[in-house]
Amino acid sequence: MEKPLKMGMVGGGPGAFIGNVHRMAANLDGNIQLVAGCFSSNPEKSRIAGREWFLDPTRVYGSYQEMARAEAALPPGQRIDFVTVVTPNHLHYPVVECFLQAGIHVISDKPATFNLAESLRLRALLKDTHLVYALTHNYSGYPMVKEARALVQSGHLGRILKVVAEYPQGWLLQRLEASEHKQAAWRTDPQKAGASCCIGDIGTHAEQLGRYITGLEIESLCADFTTFVPGRLLEDDGNLLLRYKRQVEDGLPAAKGILYASQISAGEENGPFIRVYGTKASLEWQQPEPNKLILKYPDKPMEIRKPGNAYNLAANAFTRLPAGHPEAFLEAFANIYREAAKAIDDARCGRQIGVYDYPGIEDAVQGMAFIEAAVQSATDGAVWTAMPTMAD
């Protein structure tokens, strides 16, 4: 890269932990500089955040519309190259649309939009631009998750038969939204979060993780939602059975799956956990020990694979340290930024589009379709429900 990328941010001000996560992840490789932002709908809070991050006060804006307009008006070498959108869900679409229309690349937090319709509209919008749209499904940024995907693609596991993906948390076991808990408040508010709390916020990570590793797409699902905490407006727990689309005609049944997410599982911190079973081998990965990829075989010793070793197919390109030096959440998050930055830099320099490994608009559409199908199934009493059409 000839010179660093300039980054703006919408949302992520004081109290929103995810803003700081994006800032640290963007910072890690030293080739991205945060230079502008609209960090809060409250201008004072926005100014505080800007000062804390040493921003030029003239580039801390009162509204995202103003920011998009003002930045687009700056000369190319000075204006932001991309914006990161880290608002609550209901604002994702309008903010993203606004910046794309100003010709500015976008990195967006997930879930992509408020509903599937918005994601389809977003896809249409992106079609005729050459703008980058990256979605921070950060678990797919982990080196050993990338290794898992490479092993599946290489045929190491044989034909995939079954996927078990889970994401248990416990932090919403109390009705935090009843007190002044900002994070809990918008996530449990259907006006801001959308039709789902638990599945939208974290179930969608489990879905993306399974799809990223296996390439399998859901055909239909059966979702049993529960709102365990009295007074809560959206589900805080969801158990799903999955049936995947047939990928090959090989005489074996199409793959099956189990997916669950929970926010009321006492003492669970933040534990995405996935197991994939194939005809030749199975694999297992979980975030609490992210540098281990477990492989099990019918006829060989169980293996634990780790980043930085010569035997890896794909992981090593996504580590920053030698073998044995553990990396974790921020480094995985930074891998999304690194890949998106490559794409943005290629666009900036007029280079041909290359191959990048970051979640994008197709993940947005699939994720929102998954949420809608799950909500539909649960609403109908946990009946089998086909994934909605995702054609334009």
Task: Fill in the DSSP letter of residue 109.
Answer: -
Exposure of 82 in the CB half-sphere (CA atoms within 13 A): 29
Taking CB under 8 A as the binding criterion, the range among 25-33, 77-85, 120-128, 191-199 that sits at the site for a second copy is 25-33
Q: Which of residues 87-146 bind a second copy (CB under 8 A)?
A: none
Taking CB under 8 A as the binding criterion, the range among 74-82, 99-107, 202-210, 326-334 that sits at the site for a second copy is 326-334
Q: Applying CB under 8 A, does 83 fall inside the site for a second copy?
A: no
Three-class SS state of 284: strand
Q: Which residues pair with 258 in a beta bridge?
A: 164, 241
User: Closer to a second copy at the Cβ: 101 or 270?
Assistant: 270
Q: Applying CB under 8 A, does 345 fall inside the site for a second copy?
A: no
Looking up tokens 């909500």 gives 375
Q: In what order do the strands lie in the sheet with 293-296?
A: 293-296, 282-286, 273-278, 160-168, 256-262, 237-244, 218-226, 385-386
User: Closer to a second copy at the Cβ: 19 or 360?
Assistant: 19
Q: Which residues pair with 164 in a beta bridge?
A: 258, 275
Q: Which of residues 287-316 bind a second copy (CB under 8 A)?
A: 287-291, 295-306, 308-311
Q: Applying CB under 8 A, does 328 fall inside the site for a second copy?
A: yes
Q: Which of 320, 356, 376, 390 binds a second copy (CB under 8 A)?
A: 320
Neighbour count for residue 94 (Cβ, 10 Å): 16
Taking CB under 8 A as the binding criterion, the range among 36-44, 209-217, 329-337, 359-367 that sits at the site for a second copy is 329-337
Considering the complex, what minimum distance in angstroms separates the CB of residue 322 from a second copy?
6
Binding mask 153-192 for a second copy (x = CB under 8 A): ----xx--xx-x-x--xx--xx------------------
Considering the complex, what minimum distance in angstroms separates the CB of residue 34 from a second copy?
7
Q: Residue 43 in contact with residue 33, Cβ under 8 Å?
A: no
Three-class SS state of 168: strand
Q: Which of residues 252-291 bind a second copy (CB under 8 A)?
A: 252-253, 256-258, 260, 262, 264-271, 277-282, 287-291
Q: Which of residues 202-261 bind a second copy (CB under 8 A)?
A: 222, 224, 226-228, 230, 237, 239, 241, 243, 251-253, 256-258, 260
User: Closer to a second copy at the Cβ: 146 or 306?
Assistant: 306
Burial code (b: 16+ CB inside 10 Å, e: under 16) for 165-195 equals: bbbbbbebbeebbeeebebbbbbbbeeebbb
Say how far apart CA 218 and CA 333 lie, in whole Å.
Answer: 25
Q: Copy the structure tokens of residue 211.
A: 């799809």
Number of residues that bind a second copy (CB under 8 A): 94
